[in-house]
Amino acid sequence: MSNISGREKIIIKASRVAIAGNALLSALKISAGIIAGSMAVIADGIDSASDVLTSLITLITAHIVANPPDPKYPYGYKKADTIATKILAFIIFFAGAQLSISAVKSLINPVEKEIPDMISVYVIIISIIGKQILAGYLKKTGRKVESSMLIANAKNMQSDVVISASVLIGLVFTFVLKMPILDTITAFAVSIWIMAVAFKIFMETNRELMDGVENTDIYKTIIETVEKVEGASNPHRIRVRKIANSCEISLDVEVDGTKTLKEAHDIAVVIEDELKKKIKNVYDVLVHVEPVGNKEPGEVYGVSEKHL
């Protein structure tokens, strides 16, 4: 536990809250569904049970992320957060697909449904309130610590709110209009929405896995910061990549070729310090110093001022 930072502790706490909340709601809905004779409420309870699994994934991942760098993973384990987000996206998509298949089967081969007990309505209302509170808590916490994994889990909870709302609408139509088929139609529409949310989460994590950045303005900030450092010029071959909630910056700069190695090193140290002041959550800064006018045609691509 000594390796666990403040960020990981917050993620672990949020995951435990999500596990406890979902376990309670799941048990409540499944029990009420059995008593009330509502398959929709039982299905919603099973969906909440699957959320316990997703929260367990975030809990386990938080412990993995806390591991320090080692020879095998010199940059540490923080990208486990992104991988876990991919797994959550698959789970959310699978849940939506299963709901869609069940709804289509029900529409093709409709069966007469009995009207469930009113207790099912009360339990679903409690579920909607509980899920919304959990979703809000996870979203706020995820943004605070910049965890894509927690934010994805929050979106999953919000999907569950929509699922519970659709179940509630279906129950209302069943009680008032005697039209239980609308419950199935609503469930199908919700399933499409859930799969769309899962696809969006999946695509958002691609950028981080491919070492991209969301806001390219960071390159302008780097160039402007370097140009203010005395003795440094022509910042180029700049590369930024995300590592969980942090970013690693590497760049080349030119200095007077007649300066000593120590003088060039001191300039690089100033650049590193200034960038860490200007940019939030910097994991590391790698500065490659070159003499003014140095040309290397075979350099691997990076960002320079001409690219912006």
Per-residue pLDDT reduced to its tens digit, 40-49: 677 777 777 7
Q: Given CATH 1.20.1510.10, say whether it is the number of domain 6-209.
A: yes
In terms of Cα–Cα distance, which of 57, 118, 111 is closest to 88? Answer: 57
Residue range 133-151, pLDDT digits in tens: 999 999 999 988 888 888 8
| Domain range summary for the chain, segments of one domain joined by + | 6-209, 217-307
- pLDDT of 85 reads 84
- Residue 235 corresponds to which tokens in the numbers above? 């910042």
Q: Model confidence over 21-33: pLDDT tens digits?
A: 989 988 888 888 7
Q: What is the mean pLDDT of residues 72-101?
A: 84
Tokens, residue 222: 């780097």
Write the CB contacts of 122 (distance below 8 Å, at least 6 apart in sequence).
Answer: none
Report the alpha-carbon distance of residue 122 to residue 61 in Å, rounded: 35
Q: What is the pLDDT of residues 114-123, one digit of tens each?
A: 556 678 788 8
| pLDDT at position 1 over 50 | no
Q: What pLDDT is attached to residue 180?
A: 64
Say whether pLDDT at 157 is over 90: no
- What angle (nearest 5°) sits at the alpha carbon of residue 49, between those of residues 44 and 50? 95
Domain 217-307 superfamily per CATH: Cation efflux protein, cytoplasmic domain (3.30.70.1350)
Is residue 99 a contact partner of residue 190, using CB atoms and an 8 Å limit? yes
Q: Which residue has the higher pLDDT, 95 or 64?
A: 64
Average pLDDT over residues 105-125: 73
Confidence of residue 39 (pLDDT cuts 50, 70, 90): low
CA angle 16, 25, 149 (to 5 degrees): 40
Q: What is this structure's pTM?
A: 0.70
